[in-house]
Structure 1
Amino acid sequence: MNNANHWLSKYAKEYKIKTGLEQLYPGSLNVRLISPQYYKLLSSEGKIIIIEKEEFGWQRQIIMKPCRVFNRLAYIWRTNNGERDDTDLLELITDCKLRDEYGVRDGDEIIVEVDECVKESID
């Protein structure tokens, strides 16, 4: 936790290659799910981006799932270690600081779209 800034800044070029976003905000928004209780990226439908640790000489595999939040392209972002845990937490990355851009505060409810219609609009 609280280390997204380090990794997104350090590997900005690599994330640009994988996401197509000109620049990612060097931080994330953590979203706790109401339902379903746990969400596994690898068992979800639609597009998934996997960055093998050997691809850029990293220590961990990164898994990203395109999504939309506030009608903005974003990615659910986690390591393969995080994918193995039963987690109700989504870590979202995008090209802006969502808290500032949309006035998000702790405890606010937001909608994260990850269904097939989102896949079509991202591909």
Structure 2
Amino acid sequence: MNADKSNVTFEPKTRSSTDPAPLQTSRNVQMWPWVNWGVALSTVPASAIVMLFALGAVMSTDGCADHDCPNLGNGGIDFGVAFYGAPLVAFVVIVISFFTAKRRKGIVVPLLGWALLVADVVVMAASVAG
């Protein structure tokens, strides 16, 4: 009932399965952008670690010649891609996260960046394994 108009009543509307879901304002939904940004920003120190790994991998092949390191891989390490690609991945992840951080599937961007950084380390490790 309403105090001004005593004949007006408000009945609760029963929801059917075809009605849209109400907006979720739970703590879990509010936390996802923070998780997304945490994972996105963690690609920066990860890229620094990848750069150090690339530098160590190249330095480990410094004394190699054809007869010293026959299993160096196909042409050795492409140092430019391995070394400068890691900070580029972190930069691109952070820039794209500005647009995708609040979206439901926005976590895919930083996870893809992490996958690229891990793949960089795997390729470098396979190139110098021997």
**TM-score of the pair, normalised by structure 2:** 0.22
- Report the structure number with the largest CA radius of gyration: 2
Identify the structure with bigger relative contact order (alpha carbons < 8 Å, sequence gap 6+).
2
Question: Comparing both structures, which one devotes a greater share of its residues to helix?
Answer: 2
Question: Comparing both structures, which one devotes a greater share of its residues to strand?
Answer: 1
